[in-house]
Chain A
Amino acid sequence: MDARQAGRRVGQAVGMALLAGGLVALFVPDLSGAVPVGFGLVQVAALVSVLLAVWVVRRRYTGQYAQTSVPDVEALLSTPTPGTEVDEMVYRLTRLREGTIEYRERIQERMAETAIAVIMQRQDCSREAALEQLEAGTWTDDAVAASFFGAGSAGPGSSSLVDQIRERFGDRESGYERQLRATVRAIEAASPFDIVEPESVGTEPDQRRSLDAGSVIDAGDGERVTETTRYRSLLSTGHWTGITAFTLVSLAAGIIASQPALVLASALGLGGAGYARAMSPPPLATLAVDRTVSDREPEPGDEIEVTVTVENTGDSTLPDIRLVDRVPPTMQVVDGAARLGTALRAGEKASFRYTAVAERGVHEWPLQVIGRDVAGAFEREALVDTDDSVECVPRLKTTADVPVRLQTSVYAGSVNTETGGEGLEFFSVRDYQPGDPKRRIDWKTYARTGEFSTVDFREEHAARVVLLFDGRESSYTSTGPGERHALEQSVDLASDVFASLYDQGHLVGMAAFNGIPLWLGPSTGTLHLQRVRNAFVEHPAISALPPEVAEEESGRYVDPMTHVRRQLPEDTQIFLFSPLTDEYTYEVARRLDGAGHLVTVISPDPTADRTVGQRLARLERLVLIKRLRDHGIRVVDWSDEQPLNVELEYAERRWNA
């Protein structure tokens, strides 16, 4: 490397000397006689120059323009929609022609499971009978759908040659896709759910704004140069690369055609390249950043106004700096832009302002600074930390009136139990037993009959409730790109439910099943309230960021429910929050139910109906809900159009019917 650099130096010196000598010779014609060169040599130089130009152009063409990438910091983190995996399989199968047999089998299996469940539910028959119908094709009137599960499946092979060619060139969906769609439609029609047919359904998988490495910045990323500034990368952009090709070609053409205009014009390319070489990376450590937030302790959903001011405290001008505030992925910018491009002389200030929607959690975020020199030859990326943070705590206040069920603790509370004892409301009269309090003896009966009897009042006890979260990866799903995911909605709903139950005087705890355990036993008191609030804000088990993005390492695999089952006290009611997109949660609910807990599932709906896969996922979810309800487990199927208390009112009417 050193030798190369030294060689470069020498070369430059030689080149400069030649150039200077030539210029002097031009100005002082008498000197030129001293240099023994002829015209032939000049033409050789021209030829060499053209060859070199080709080389330079090739270099520019193959080389990448290097620059720091900036993610969409304004947007909400995107999460997949349930069913995306099916769409991806279909896409690979039909467009990329990959894994044909495996994918086809897996899709077929999922479709068959759903179809069987639907047939069983509609006709109230056994699994064998449903399977028989499925294989015979008598479950639907649709011939295409019927053949999908039949032995002699009418696959894409049966379509005509013309069709196959057209499929190949992608201007129509393949026979397989058509068949899939018909089958999903047939299953929907056969199901007991009233599903509205969407107008158009594609099989293209949803675009995912990928959770690339750039969207989350590690705390230890980069090389710390000052207390707050870290240099992350230094690039040579290659902005002026290739300009010398013009110099070389123009020079050659000028010499061969003996045109001074071209020889002179070639100096411009040289000038541009020299200009780029004269640059040095801009110093970003002298940038002082100040961020002010209109509200440091907002509630979730509040809009906060953020103003970022940067000042160049150094002595040199920063000609080209690009500032991007790395807003946390859970917060959405709704006004202004969290970016600014500017130039700052020494001592100058610039600022930008934007409005974002606060989301639960303790947030600290860096400012990304991309600085270039004036020619754009070097690009340095720095991250500047600011010492301020935003703490967004759910308010734990609610208007929802969440009903609890008849499963209570020994503590006094507000649930009317079915047992007699101390209380206010008359419950029953029974025979006197020694030890009964004197004031509950029914003296009138005694006067009439001469026998003691005791009046029992209805006992009012507090319920013991645990809010249980499904924090597994399947909860990080949403109805579309940029929508809030199901776990975030669960946490919203749970904070309402918690507040309502706590206000009613119940003992409420929190738990989550996830790689990272969360357990707060049902309790009461200020300390407990504080713990719950903290858990809502930043417990990693119900983190707002999917595990693949969050910094925490999830340890080795343990059954996520183990710690919950171990610690769950008896006679505890469960409010289970889950999008219900897979069997696991269904099993959890059923087992808890079997262990004697009263389970209410509150399920934010993350499914959509834009593609075949999404429709299949929606069917699967509806089947699961139906099965849970058949087990006597209460399910609130919540979509974010209705406030929770309205949805609960409907549900209560259904439960009490």
Chain B
Amino acid sequence: MSTDVDTDDPERTDATTPSDGTREQPADSVASPQDSETEGPTPVTIERAPPRWSQFVALGAGVVGALLTTPFALLALPFGLAGIVVLAGGLFLTHSRRWISVGTALVLVGTIISGAYGAVSIELALIGVTASVLAWDVGHHGIGIGEQLGRETRSKRTQLVHTAVSAVVLGTVSMVAYTVSLVAAGGRPVSAVALVVAGIVVVAWLFR
């Protein structure tokens, strides 16, 4: 027998079955699932949604990322706002990785636009991008936890470890970048920049 008729929405038929409050239960009819559940112990169900902690941390990081970088250019602001909305939708409503990615990407595009106009200082850009990337990372991690373990399962420890280590790594990278900017603050020889750029492109491509 085929089971592929409809697999996308497990809630749907529940909505069409009458709830036990409105239904007269004749003595000789078959027990509906709702009725038998009230008698015995209720079975445990797993809610496959991201844990609340990860939702709020990711959204918070996304908001910080957008606030620090996008309000300084008129063209960047809509990207920041839209990014936050999409990110929040992905985290809280659709529980979808794609929405989180698109939301973060919008915020980062806002950052780049704002940066291209020279509206963002180096410090703000580094902190803002760190926060945005962290939002992306934590959001994805939370969705993975939600799919495999469920929202109510204890998983705080691993979320904390993952978030903390990611934050430390990204923070360290920012610090290094900032140090470079301090040292090379003066004259920037074109050839040196070119070497750095070429190096980043090659490594980034290989790391994709």
A-B contact count (CB 8 A): 380
Whether A342 and B33, one on each chain, are in contact in the complex, defined by CB atoms closer than 8 angstroms, is: no
Nearest residue, chain A, Cβ from B161: A343
For the complex formed, measure the closest distance between the CB of A212 and the CB atoms of chain B, giving whole angstroms: 9
Q: Are A483 and B36 in contact (CB under 8 A)?
A: yes
Complex: A278 Cα to B180 Cα, angstroms = 23
List 18 A–B pairs whose Cβ atoms lie within 8 Å, in order of A's numbering: A12-B203, A19-B199, A27-B183, A27-B184, A39-B190, A72-B46, A198-B18, A200-B16, A200-B18, A248-B204, A257-B117, A267-B176, A271-B169, A274-B207, A332-B43, A334-B41, A339-B46, A608-B32
B85 CB-CB contact with A under 8 Å: no
Does A144 lie at the interface of the complex (its beta carbon under 8 Å from any beta carbon of B)? no
1/0 contact trace for A258-287 toward B, CB 8 Å?
Answer: 011111111111111111110000000000
Q: Are A268's CB and B200's CB within 8 A?
A: no
Contact of A251 with B157 at beta-carbon distance under 8 Å, contacts A15-B206, A25-B192, A244-B207 already known: no
| Interface flags, B172-197, vs A, CB<8A=1, else 0 | 11101110110110111111111111
- B29's nearest neighbour on chain A, judged by CB, is A196
Please give, as numbers and ranges, the residues of chain A lying within 8 Å of B6 by CB-CB distance: 91, 204-205, 207
Is A41 a contact partner of B201 (Cβ separation < 8 A)? no
In the complex with contacts A26-B188, A36-B191, A88-B5, A261-B115 CB distance below 8 A? yes
- Contact for A259 among B116, B183, B207, CB less than 8 A: B116
Give the contacting residue for B202; candidates A18, A249, A340, A341; CB below 8 A.
Answer: A18
A324 contacts the other chain (CB 8 A) = yes
| Cβ–Cβ contact A199 & B22, under 8 A | yes
List, in ascending order, chain B residues with CB within 8 A of A19's CB.
195-196, 199-200, 203
B52: CB under 8 A from chain A? no
Mask for B30-54, Cβ within 8 A of A = 1, else 0?
1111001000111111100000000
Report whether B190 and A67 are in contact in the complex, using a CB–CB cutoff of 8 Å: no
Residues of A that sit less than 8 Å from B by CB: 8, 11-12, 14-23, 25-27, 29, 31-33, 35-39, 41-42, 45-46, 48-49, 52, 55-57, 59-60, 65, 67-70, 72, 74-76, 80, 84-85, 88, 91-92, 96, 194, 196, 198-200, 202, 204-210, 237, 239-244, 246-251, 253-257, 259-277, 303, 319-322, 324, 332-337, 339-343, 352, 354, 357, 370, 374-376, 479-483, 605, 607-610, 639-641
A531 to chain B, nearest CB (A): 31
Complex: chain A residue closest to B148, CB-CB: A70
B173 A268 Cβ-Cβ under 8 A = yes
Chain B residues, CB < 8 A from A240 = 137
A17 to B141, CA, bound (A): 33
Asked if B155 and A341 sit within 8 Å, CB to CB, the answer is yes
Q: Are B199 and A251 in contact (CB under 8 A)?
A: no
Beyond A39-B190, A56-B208, whether A207 also contacts B30 by CB under 8 A is no
CB atoms of B205 and A244 under 8 A apart: yes
Contact indicator A29/B192 (Cβ below 8 Å): yes
Residue of A nearest to B117 (CB): A257
B91, chain A: closest CB distance, angstroms: 16
Assembly CA distance A56 to B105 (angstroms):
13
Q: How far is the CA of A192 from the CA of B203 in the complex (A)?
A: 80
Residues of B within 8 A of A45 (CB): 194, 197-198, 201
